[in-house]
Amino acid sequence: MGQHFGRIGAMANGRVPYDAKAAVENAEIVAEMAKLPWAGFGPGTDKVTPSRAKAEIWSEQAKFKEHNEKLVGESAKLLAAAKTNNLDNLKVAFGATANTCKACHDAFRKE
């Protein structure tokens, strides 16, 4: 997730030149991977080590799912923005998606 979202971030933040095709390709992967945390942290996965996952993922499933749904929603918008071939649109959607990443990490990921 970090690899592919990071490649979009590098364009959004001007660290690499904007490449509209690469933005779409990476946004497609991000939008697909966004659906995985819910399955990836399913029953029994709290026993997996090493992990930075907080116990609250399993004890507060409804809240965790809410965060995942926000990620799914924003990453779908990120893909739509990438497909407009417009860097400003990409920047806005990247920021909104990054906020959902951060909110979930703050709540559910250890340092």
- Comparing CB distances to ligand ASC, the nearer of 9 and 44 is 9
SS3 (DSSP) at 11: helix
Contact set for ligand ASC, span 5-24 (CB under 6 A): 5-6, 9
Contact set for ligand ASC, span 84-103 (CB under 6 A): 98, 101-102
Under 8 Å CB-to-CB from 67, ≥6 apart: which residues?
Answer: 100, 103, 104, 107, 108
- Is position 44 an interface residue for ligand ASC (rule: CB under 6 A)? no
DSSP 28-82: HHHHHHTTHHHHHT-TTGGG-SS--B-THHHHSHHHHHHHHHHHHHHHHHHHHHH
Applying CB under 6 A, among 2, 17, 43, 50 the residue interacting with ligand ASC is 2
- Comparing CB distances to ligand ASC, the nearer of 34 and 101 is 101
- Comparing CB distances to ligand ASC, the nearer of 44 and 77 is 77
